[in-house]
Structure 1
Amino acid sequence: MLENIVWRNVFIISALHAASCYGIYLKSFDIHLYSRIFFLFYAHVSGWGVTAGRHRYFSHRSFKGNRAVDILLMLMTCTAFEQSIFTWCRDHRLHHKHSETNADPYNSKRGFFFCHLGWVLLRKHPDVKEKGKSIDMSDLKANPTVMFEYKYCLLLSFIFTIIVPLVVPMYFWNERFLVALFYGTIYRYALVLHMTWSVNSFAHLYGMRTYDKSIKPAENNLVSTIAFGEGFHNYHHTFPWDYKAAELSGDFRNMTTYLIDLLAAVGMVTERKTVSQNLIEKRKERTGDSTWKATTSSIKDIFIYLTYIYIVS
């Protein structure tokens, strides 16, 4: 077991969380209001970079975008370093193709800790490496924006994950260095990582299986609320091509869909793929667990989100 541990990653993740705890400690002191606002804004940009960019656009191609969208979403992904777009998408496509097997990079059958964080700390299972070679990545290899980011991933991530959130508060409203570093940069980064990881863990282990009760991914309302719509996970694994990643549209819990719709409204996004309601209902009846009916977000969901915002800021 010890030989499978990537000690470099253990050190980095441990240091990241220790530094984040100091960032939380600094929250109890006087922090400029603009810093709090900027922190929330940048955290949302990072989150959307993962959900709209890495996940729904680059991994699943659930909608089409022009070159400006390519560049915009690429830069947004760089605000929360989670490997290159190419590597992230390859692992995610592998996750869908071989879900809950040894070839799944974050196999939830190996337990909560592994699928949430442990997979980052351990060497990949041999099946992940072997099956990963069979994943079709030709579309991303042909995308110059993705290949540019792949080549300069470390530099771009360093600039947009660390330098920008560090320098902006210090330069524009004279925020203290320690606050900008530990609160606005490191704590924000760790928070977005856990937001992403929660989809691999909570949304695979806890919730209802409305559309396919034979698979592990579940409908997890809390994850949907804090991860901008990524917690409707039983639906997503049943219909992975739907750009909403959920049955619901125009819903508060799925802010990623709002962003994509906004880009479509200004002509930057086209061909948003969806699933017909008739097909959804038939799938529910045939393979679902009959435990949940689609409803729009409630006051409770808004309260959960606002509480989450209050806690993290």
Structure 2
Amino acid sequence: MICRLRNWFGVRFGHLDIVWLNVFMLSMIHVAALYGFYLKFLNVNIYTRLFAIFYCHVSGCGVTAGRHRYFSHRSFKGNRAVDILLAMMACTTFEQSIYTWCRDHRLHHKHSETDADPYNSNRGFFFCHVGWILVRKHKDVKEKGKSIDMSDLLDNPVVMFEYKYCLQLALIFTVLIPTLVPWYFWNESLAVTFFYGTVYRFVLILHITWSVNSFAHLYGMRNYDKHINPAENTYVSTISMGEGFHNYHHTFPWDYKAAELSNDFRNFTTFFIDSLAYFGMVTERKTASKQLIGKRIERTGDPGYKSSTSIVKNIFGYLLFVVLLA
């Protein structure tokens, strides 16, 4: 039994440098989220549910379009208004500062599936999903992290402002706004707005983000590069607004779509970015050509693979995302 647990956790218990404060805090947040999950089955105002769905989309795009595709990978260009908008959206779910998040993610791409990878999937499902937050970083993560070029973010005043005041901004955008807006405007109870609209939403977004590091690195097809761990996971893609096409993303990390497909139900983030481009706020969206993709599949992937665009799968997956929240 112990051996099975060790295999699942992916590490030996005796060699873990556990951060017990993180364990305690994350445990308490999950207990509060479970209470919020219970409250959502009670008499919750329809406006509260709609606001929670809206805010969850804002939080999701803050991670996917903001922290990931824009600030980490620079897969498209935006003006200062875009910097501010995406930084504010990123603050609606506290996942460290934008600078720290991007540094770890760039390190993850440069040293994927090694000890220098902050969420190394070779250390087991639990570790790459959440365990990496509960233990101190491997020494290789600290050493190799110093070599990551972060000059673009260091020169960005919006990112540096968020870095300096990340805790205060997280309190405002992650806690106060989703808690007080339903309470003030339509008299929802503070218990519902806090435990359901704030904590439950926050934990849901956390697990969706973590699922890209775990499920999408361990389960799915490797259509573009069969020599790497990241995989194409349709269901993760849907609930994460398009981030689960991970074999493609690690093969072409600079593609703003993070997938071969365009903006359908499984890739809401691309729709959001394209909408910003429509209004002239976003330019120079980088993407891989069909010829380049085809050549890469022939060289390292599965030539027999064909991208699925089933509308049934798209709608079902998106409804699953909404049901999880509402």
Q: TM-score range by the shorter chain?
A: over 0.9
Per the alignment, in what secondary structure is the counterpart of residue 19 of structure 1? helix
Question: Given the alignment of the two structures, is residue 122 of structure 1 paired with residue 139 of structure 2, yes or no?
Answer: no
Q: Residue type of the partner of 2:149?
A: D
1:310 shift after superposition: 1.9
The partner residue of 2:51 within 22, 38, 44 is 38
Provide the C-alpha distance between the structure 2 equivalents of 1:152 and 1:291, rounded to a whole number of angstroms.
50
Which letter does structure 2 place at the counterpart of 1:306? L
The equivalent position to 2:208 in structure 1, one of 195, 202, 208, is 195
User: Partner amino acid for 2:115?
Assistant: N
Q: Does 1:86 align with 2:107?
A: no
TM-superposed CA distance for 1:305, in Å, is 1.8
Query: Structure 1 residue 96 and structure 2 residue 109: aligned?
Result: yes
**Residue ranges of structure 1 left out of the alignment (5+ in a row):** none
| Cα 1:309–1:285 shift into 2, 3 Å | same
CA distance in 1, matches of 2:197, 2:203: 11
- Report the Cα distance in structure 2 between the residues aligned to 1:52 and 1:300, rounded to whole angstroms: 23
Against the structure 1 CA distance between its residues 283 and 107, is the aligned structure 2 distance closer, same or farther, given a 3 Å change threshold?
A: same
- Percent of residue pairs identical: 70
Q: Map residues 1-313 of structure 1 onto 2, 5 A cutoff.
A: 1=14, 4-290=17-303, 292-313=305-326
CA distance in 2, matches of 1:242, 1:64: 12
CA deviations 1:96-150 (Å, max 9, x no partner) are 0000000000000000000000001010000000000000000000000000000
Deviation at 1:301, TM superposition (A): 2.5
Cα distance in 2 between the residues matched to 1:25 and 1:55? 31
Do 2:130 and 2:210's aligned partners in 1 also have CA atoms closer than 8 Å?
yes
TM-fit CA distance, 1:311 = 3.3
Unaligned runs of 5+ in 2: 1-13
For these two proteins, the number of residue pairs brought into alignment is 313
C-alpha distance in structure 1 between counterparts of 2:40 and 2:162, whole Å? 33
- CA–CA separation in structure 2 for the residues paired with 1:297 and 1:143: 40
Rounded Cα–Cα distance in structure 1 between residues aligned with 2:321 and 2:242: 15
Q: How many angstroms does 1:3 deviate by?
A: 6.0
Bigger mean CA deviation after superposition, 19-28 or 216-225 = 19-28
- Report the CA distance between 1:296 and its aligned residue: 1.9
2:322 partner amino acid:
I
Contact residue 208 and residue 289 of structure 1 kept, 8 A: no
Q: For each residue in 1:214-234, what CA deviation from the matched residue of structure 2 results, as whole angstroms up to 9, or x when unmatched? A: 000000000000000000000
Judged with a 3 Å threshold, the aligned counterparts in structure 2 of structure 1 residues 297 and 53 are, in CA distance, closer, same or farther, namely farther
Q: CA separation in 1, counterparts of 2:79 and 2:180?
A: 30
| Matched residue type, 2:269 | T
Alignment partner, residue 4 of structure 2: none
Letter in 2 for 1:286: R
Q: CA deviation at 1:2?
A: 6.8
Report the TM-score when normalising by structure 2. 0.94
Alpha-carbon distance in structure 2 between the residues aligned to 1:142 and 1:248: 33
Give the Cα separation in 2 of the matches to 1:154 and 1:282.
46
Q: 1:270 to 1:196 in 2, by over 3 A?
A: same
Distance 1:73 1:169 in 2: 23
